[in-house]
Amino acid sequence: MSVHVDVVKNEWLTGEQRPIARLFVGKGELQIDSPDPARWGPVVEQALDGMKLDHPEPEEQLGEVTSRLRGSHLFATVPHDHDDCPYRGAWEPVRMESVSSSQTAADPAPA
Amino acid sequence: MDGLDELEHYLRTARILDVGAFPDPDIPQPGAHPSFRFILEGGVGALAKPAHTIGEGDAVVRCEAAAWVLARQLKWTDLVGTTVLRETDVFPDVEEEVTTSLQILWPGFELDADMGQFSDEDIWRAAIFDVLVLHTDRTHNWGAVPGHGQKRLKLIDHGYAFREWPGREFASSFADAKAGQEIPDDLAEPLDDFLGHVETHDRLEDLLGEQVLEELVARGRTLVEDRTLNHP
């Protein structure tokens, strides 16, 4: 697997970001690799349902995945090479980082 | 008093103990709204979506808050997490205050759980809700939370809803599941109630604007008159 898309789950309360599937082109079609294919295969396939009609070529499908999975809790990266992979091709979670703290709100928003 | 006014006030005013973010990857992630986790005083975790981190952000965060307001008017407050708008200046690299949608995170949230685990009532409510809000991304973006003997459905991510968005169309697995079926009477009642109390629509109008609210109400009327779940 060289060029691929990572499908990533954000676990906001626990503060972990975890790749749960990788999509790549192999044997002339879009392939899904996952540490838990029974759990995540159907989720990814449902999100991509119907994509083959508009994008028959697997390379096109790979590029389309990003626009099909773009939620706060589950998203897909753009296609990228293994050497550029932020997850290094592994399934290990990435920890959330603290970026600032301690604000007291003075003026509530209107709605 | 149901405490929800107080809960919304708390979200708007509670001290932010921590702002967390996942490390910025070296590759672009177009589409997903770059977001943060707030830990609020007293120990509440909330998902913060600032307007400045995505295109048309002000409209996006208003849609997030409007989904909660609508759920509250339908009395389906178990279906959507409490969400408010908050002005805050805690984000890195931005000095001025930014309008941010802030939504309480569900504990035990099981992402994109199989629809077969949910009650028929929950699936129906999600289908109706998605038609009302004109959801464009509900082939995922839900979760399950433990309930009394059965997992309960929770809906997330309503930023791209309520109106037409470039490159997006209505998409809902729940509406697909119920398409063409007769809406049960007990689920049409909250719709009737919502449509019959126009005086309660002020908050939605503040968030969405008059025209988008009118379109939302029109979709509700169509559902009530047809008594059938049809795609918008």
Q: Which of B42, B35, B36, B34 has its CA nearest to residue B17?
A: B42
Average pLDDT, chain A: 87
The CATH number assigned to the domain holding B77 equals: 3.30.200
Which two structure tokens, joined as six digits, stand for A53? 């009609």
- B211 in the same domain as B118: yes
Number of domains in chain B: 2
CB-based contact A100 B69, cutoff 8 Å? no
Task: Work out the pLDDT band at A106, boundaries 50, 70, 90.
Answer: very low
Looking at the complex, does the CB of residue B17 fall below 8 Å from at least one CB of chain A? yes
Confidence of residue B26 (pLDDT cuts 50, 70, 90): low
Residue B139 has pLDDT above 50, yes or no: yes
Q: Specify whether B90 is located in the same domain as B135.
A: no
Domain boundary among B75, B104, B133: B104
Contact B137 A70 (CB under 8 A): yes
Backbone φ/ψ region at B23: left (φ over 0), alpha (ψ -120 to 50), beta? beta
Residue-wise pLDDT for B170-221, tens only, equals 999 999 999 999 999 999 999 999 998 887 899 999 999 999 999 999 999 9
Domain count of chain A?
1
Contact B19 A98 (CB under 8 A): yes
* A46 Cβ neighbours under 8 A, 6+ residues apart: B112, B139, B140, B173
Q: Among A23-27, A58-62, A103-107, B192-196, which stretch is predicted with the lowest mean pLDDT? A: A103-107
What integer pLDDT is reported at residue B198 of this predicted model? 80
Q: Supply the pLDDT for residue A56.
A: 82
Q: Does residue B28 carry a pLDDT above 90? A: no
Residue A84 vs residue B120, higher pLDDT: B120
Residue A110, pLDDT > 60, answer: no
Whether A105 shows a pLDDT value over 60: the answer reads no
Q: Which two tokens stand for residue A88?
A: 């290094």
Q: What was the pLDDT predicted at B78? A: 96
**Furthest CA-CA distance within chain A:** 59
Rounded to two decimals, the pTM is 0.93
**Portion 18-77 of B in contact with A at CB < 8 A:** 18-23, 25-33, 35-37, 45, 47, 49, 62, 65, 69
The chain-wide mean pLDDT, for chain B, equals 94
At B192, give phi and psi (nearest 5°): -55, -45
**Could you tell me if residue A25 is inside a domain?**
yes
Q: Containing domain of residue A55, as a range?
A: 5-88
Contact A99 B19 (CB under 8 A): yes
pLDDT tens column, A34-75: 999 999 999 888 878 777 778 888 888 898 888 889 899 999
Chain A contacts of B158, Cβ < 8 Å? none
Residue of A nearest to B99 (CA): A109
- Could you tell me which chain B residue has the CA closest to the CA of A13? B45
Instruction: Inform me whether the C-beta atom of residue B216 falls under 8 Å from chain A C-beta atoms.
Output: no
Do B100 and B117 reside in the same domain of the chain? no
Strands B36-40 and B83-88: unpaired
A–B CB contacts, 8 A cutoff, strictly below: 147
Q: Tell me how far apart the alpha carbons of residues B102 and B203 are, in angstroms, rounded to a whole number.
A: 16
Please report whether residue A29 resides in a domain.
yes
In a domain? residue A40:
yes
- Can you tell me the mean pLDDT for B31-60? 94
Which element (helix H / strand E) includes A26?
strand A16-26
The answer to whether B101 and B48 have CB atoms below 8 angstroms apart is yes
Q: Cβ-count burial of B42 within 10 angstroms (0-12 exposed, 13-18 middle, 19+ buried)?
A: exposed
Domain that holds residue B39: 4-24+31-104
- Reduced to 3 states (helix: H, G, I; strand: E, B; else coil), residue B54 is coil
CA separation for the pair B172, B14 (Å, rounded): 34
